[in-house]
A and B are shown apart, each in its own frame.
Chain A
Amino acid sequence: MSDQPLLRVNAVTKYYGGRIGCDEVTFSLWPGEVLAVVGESGSGKTTLLNCISTRLPPTSGTVEYRMRDGQMRDLYRMGEAERRLLMRTDWGFVHQNPADGLRMTVSAGANVGERLMAVGDRHYGKIRAAAGDWLGRVEIDVDRIDDQPRDFSGGMRQRLQIARNLVTGPRLVFMDEPTGGLDVSVQARLLDLVRSLVADLGLSAIVVTHDLAVARLLSHRMLVMKDGHVIEHGLTDRVLDDPQEPYTQLLVSSILQV
């Protein structure tokens, strides 16, 4: 890991009218690091993720990102064109519901190839080869390349969404409950896949989840949120094995033991 952060979030606050979305959240993310944001429903996890990924402008606070040229840039001071380019090249966003992140009416190959075409790739054969390669890497049979995602199972859709995001070699991936809505065995396979991809590609990631098992498997560090505040943060193993805050203790102890 480099000694300079990839992403610096400084006092990000979002109010929905008088209601708090998230309050004064500050942290940094280093290259190659996976950060989990955990907390119960309504604790502000998704608001925070949307603020950081420029999908929702925060009420106050700054989000800085280290561009490929090494410059630290304030995301909300960039032009919209540059920000959107960043979002579809250097970043990925994996939605909880794959239908939000995929184009359901075009083939799997076109879904994966879209980002390549967006950055100017104009060779059909090469785009198709890259799409086929990525389908293989997320364990989807290459002969499904011309099928539409609506013919895919939930787990396949989620894997397709991941391939679609990773095809441009992003450095930072946001994941919003990536395993939500999948059954347990599919979850396990998906987690295994994501973990190896993140390790192989040296990705940084911010994973929002309510599932502590997901956080344990994927992340190096974690933030625990409650009512819009970060109440505890630290290395994942430390937080889960030795929770300091009463709420975190409650959260950890409420995991079902089989």
Chain B
Amino acid sequence: MTMQQTDMATYNFAYLDEQTKRMIRRAILKAIAIPGYQAPFASREMPMPYGWGTGGVQVTAAILGPDDVLKVIDQGADDTTNAVSIRAFFQRVANVAVTTHTKDATVIQTRHRIPEETLRKGQVLVYQVPIPEPLRYLEPRETETRKMHALEEYGLMHVKLYEDIARNGHIATTYAYPVKVEGRYVMDPSPTPKFDNPKMHMSEALQLFGAGREKRIYALPPHTEVVSLDFEDHPFEVQKFDQPCALCGAEGVYLDEVILDDKGGRMFVCSDTDHCEKRREEGHRGPLAAEAPEMHS
């Protein structure tokens, strides 16, 4: 808000020019119309390397308005490099309000996680996607995978899960776990842990996926059926943690391992930093909370 007008003059609102934003919005509309379908778009060069969220940034730039409140997370955290730099980028080029609070945000760009707090109507979750094609693991030909999507030939997806069970005794895929959308398209939910898959199902929020290098956008409109693939005798299940968050004591949330020293000391803390801070403000305490330094947002 304290930006000088002279700085703004060098950029169009939200960095991309209006024609590019219209092109991306068309792809987004198409993707929303066909849930789970990978709509191609003319991905642009962005001032960041591929793999740092060029797809997500373009989607965010195309949907952002002056009144939006933006939150950016990387692995659930608001304070890691990728999150901080993308948030600063949009503050600079769009002059929008930013927040770390999930409930205050209208647009949330994420790499890997869905916030623990249930998203509500009107919010948009933008995912940064490295490889949008779920069938790529077993079928390297793009022409062939497109045909397989068109003809709904998804047997190959189960071959991958079969291999998992044959090698490990259980489905060992823990992230980028394939889902079927509205009984039609099989979709890669980007490298989110499978812990978050159930949150996609029937979500009230709009979910948009942008893959910059692969030039694909796909979407889950609100209230879309999202089913994780599995076998009848090996049903889908999410990760379970045998201890609560060390800082806020939360259970049933996704935890990150933090190494404390070189003597094997470690703790498990909420990957969603906003959720963790909120709980601590409310007075929840985990077993290591007293020793941990106070965190700021």
Contact residues of B between 154 and 212, Cβ < 8 Å to A: 155-156, 158-159, 162-163, 165-167
Q: How distant is the Cα of A128 from the Cα of B163 in the complex, in angstroms?
A: 11
B151 at the interface (CB under 8 A from A): yes
Among B25-33, B69-77, B218-226, B230-238, which stretch is in contact with chain A?
B230-238
Instruction: Report whether B159 and A123 are in contact in the complex, using a CB–CB cutoff of 8 Å.
Output: no
Closest chain B residue to A120, Cβ basis:
B155
B42 at the interface (CB under 8 A from A): no
Instruction: Report whether A124 and B234 are in contact in the complex, using a CB–CB cutoff of 8 Å.
Output: yes
- What residues on A are CB-neighbors of B138 within 8 Å? 103, 105-106
B104 at the interface (CB under 8 A from A): no
Contact with A along B123-134 (1 / 0, CB 8 A): 000000000000
Q: Decide yes or no: A118 and B233 within 8 Å by CB, A106-B163, A113-B162 being known contacts.
A: no
Q: How distant is the Cα of A152 from the Cα of B167 in the complex, in angstroms?
A: 18
Instruction: Report whether B155 and A118 are in contact in the complex, using a CB–CB cutoff of 8 Å.
Output: yes
Instruction: Report whether A115 and B151 are in contact in the complex, using a CB–CB cutoff of 8 Å.
Output: no
Instruction: Report whether B155 and A123 are in contact in the complex, using a CB–CB cutoff of 8 Å.
Output: no
Instruction: Report whether B158 and A122 are in contact in the complex, using a CB–CB cutoff of 8 Å.
Output: yes
Chain A contact residues, majority secondary structure: helix
Contact of A123 among B151, B156, B167, B232 (CB under 8 A): B232
Contact of B158 among A109, A117, A145 (CB under 8 A): A117
Instruction: Report whether B151 and A114 are in contact in the complex, using a CB–CB cutoff of 8 Å.
Output: no
Q: Decide yes or no: A146 and B167 within 8 Å by CB, A84-B151, A114-B156 being known contacts.
A: yes
- Closest Cβ–Cβ distance, residue A209 to chain B (whole Å): 29
- Closest Cβ–Cβ distance, residue B263 to chain A (whole Å): 39
- What residues on A are CB-neighbors of B230 within 8 Å? 122
A110 at the interface (CB under 8 A from B): yes
Instruction: Report whether A110 and B231 are in contact in the complex, using a CB–CB cutoff of 8 Å.
Output: no
Q: How distant is the Cα of A115 from the Cα of B163 in the complex, in angstroms?
A: 14
Most buried by B among A105, A107, A114, A117: A117
Closest chain B residue to A118, Cβ basis:
B155
- What residues on A are CB-neighbors of B234 within 8 Å? 124
A81 at the interface (CB under 8 A from B): yes
Other contacts beyond A117-B156, A118-B153: 17, CB < 8 A: A103-B159, A107-B166, A109-B162, A109-B166, A110-B162, A110-B163, A113-B162, A114-B155, A117-B158, A118-B156, A122-B230, A122-B231, A124-B162, A124-B232, A124-B234, A127-B162, A146-B166
Chain B interface (Cβ < 8 Å from any Cβ of A): 138, 147, 151-153, 155-156, 158-159, 162-163, 165-167, 230-234
